[in-house]
A = this chain, B = another copy of it.
Amino acid sequence: MERIINIEWTGSAEGGHLRLLDQTQLPTDTVYLDCKTVQDVWDAIKRLSVRGAPAIGIAAAYGCVLGVQGASQGVSQALNQAADHLATSRPTAVNLFWALDRMKKVEPCTPQWLLEEAKAIHAEDEAMCRTMGEHALSLMRQTLGQDAAGLPMPGVLTHCNAGALATGGIGTATAGMYLGHQQGLKFTVYADETRPLLQGSRLTAYELGQAGLDVVLICDGMAAQVMREGKVGMVITGADRIAANGDAANKIGTYNLAVLAKHHGVPFYVAAPSSTFDLSLASGDLIPIEERAAEEITQGFGKRTAPEPVKTYSPAFDVTPAELIRAIVTEKGVIQPVTQQRIGEVLGL
């Protein structure tokens, strides 16, 4: 796999360190940060040099190893100090706490075993991405073969970044694309730029391009025209939270795509690990949608592009109702049709 490496431990448990791709410098500069202290990792998480729930958890786990280096006495105490500090870096990141808790339970508490555990967390995430990718690739082969027959280069449209940069592996929505590319499947990825924060432009177009995939960047409002021209055989996105009935919250603009896909008869898929399901929520109506800062819309490109003052409305997420989703790809299998019953079957509830 030629995918870009975003998180890597180099060297031994005692003398090694963590290398992180500095995502704040993308898409123009590919710069790695050498994190040699807990504070280095804390800073990297805080300033979004590493982002995406799985990636943050993995980085924090490696950060715990850095915290015990040189602490030949009191390793356990050093670990707790490191974990407590790292937990304050992004207090809303659930994977962060999950990974730190797992590190605190390592027995015996030695640098070597802590590094093994961090590597296990990393490898498990990588494996989960790959399994999702295999399921997604099956759907791609079916869908692009059937619905896009005759296109010289059938297209897959995605939104935001549910990619390698957000995980310890080949991403969620992107996983099938990486595997398909590796296996010689010919297709074009249309990447929505994803306003306001341009994750599609800055991150998805970057990482897929680095891996040699054929990526075409479009503005969000162009997706309907691209579908009308028959350029897209399927849409696949990630999800931040999925309710018990299959309604899926994801980056704002995803629901927009799902409506367009329905109108054009293009299947719309979601790829997300089973941990994304929040079965305490009966439906997507119960998923709270935070509103983001006006400045992301009014001066997101380096200079002000809106009058002052101006009102904005900037929901961070939207909810795609289950009936617009053809299938949800998880590491435990493909949920299709998207019904409460089928969700229970695939997740093994």
Interface residues of A (CB under 8 A from B): 26-28, 159, 190, 192-196, 198, 201-202, 205-206, 209-210, 214-226, 228, 231, 252-253, 255-256, 259-260, 262-263, 297-298, 300-315, 318
Contacts and interface: CB of A to CB of B under 8 A. Distances in A.
Given A217-B298, A301-B300, A315 B253 contact: no
11 contacts: A26-B307, A27-B310, A193-B297, A217-B306, A217-B312, A218-B313, A219-B297, A224-B255, A224-B318, A263-B263, A301-B303
Nearest to A318: B225
Contacts of A215: 310-311
Contacts of A298: 201, 217
A254 to B, nearest CB: 8
Contacts of A311: 214-217
Contacts of A255: 224-225, 228
A65 B190 CA distance: 50
Contacts of A310: 27, 205, 209, 215, 217
Contact of A228 (B307, B314, B318): B318
Contacts of A226: 313
Contact of A305 (B202, B220, B305): B202
A28 B308 contact: yes
A293 B205 CA distance: 17
Contacts of A222: 252-253, 256, 313-315, 318
A231 B312 CA distance: 13
Contact of A205 (B195, B263, B302, B306): B306
A194 B221 contact: yes
B302 A225 contact: no
Given A194-B221, A216-B313, A262-B263, A306 B27 contact: yes
Contacts of A307: 26-28, 202, 205-206, 209-210
Contact of A219 (B190, B253, B260, B304): B253
A318 B302 CA distance: 28
List the 10 shortest-distance A-B pairs measured between CB atoms, nearest first.
Answer: A221-B253, A301-B301, A27-B307, A302-B302, A220-B221, A224-B256, A302-B303, A195-B219, A225-B318, A206-B307
A298 B209 CA distance: 14
Contact of A223 (B194, B256, B308): B256
